[in-house]
Amino acid sequence: LFPYTTLFRSIEFEARQQAKSQAKNYSSEIADLTNQVNNKKLSIENCEQKITSLKADIQSAEIKVQELRDQWNAIDAQQLKFDEQELICPTCKQFLPENQIESKKVELTGNFNKNKASRLEQIVNNAKQWQSEIENITSRIANGNELLVTLKQELGKLEIELDNTKR
Q: At 63, give phi and psi (nearest 5°).
A: -65, -45
Q: Write the DSSP assignment of 87-146 as a string of letters.
A: GB-TTT-SBPPHHHHHHHHHHHHHHHHHHHHHHHHHHHHHHHHHHHHHHHHHHHHHHHHH
Q: How many helical (H) and strand (E) elements, i.e. helices and strands, does the chain have?
A: 2, 0
Q: Quick check: 101 and 87 in contact, CB under 8 A? A: yes
Give the best-scoring range by mean pLDDT among 18-32, 103-117, 140-154.
Answer: 140-154
Give yes or no for a contact between 145 and 50, defined as CB atoms under 8 angstroms apart: no
Give the orientation angle of helix 98-166 with respect to helix 2-77, to 10 degrees.
170
What's the pTM value of the predicted model, to 2 decimals?
A: 0.70
What is Dmax (Cα atoms) for the chain? Answer: 139
Tell me the pLDDT tens digit for each residue of 45-82.
Answer: 999 999 999 999 999 999 999 999 999 999 999 998 87
Residue 23 has pLDDT above 70, yes or no: no
Asked if the model's pLDDT at residue 41 lies above 70, the reply is: yes
Least confident of 49-53, 72-76, 95-99, 110-114: 95-99
Rounded CA-CA distance 160/167 in Å is: 11
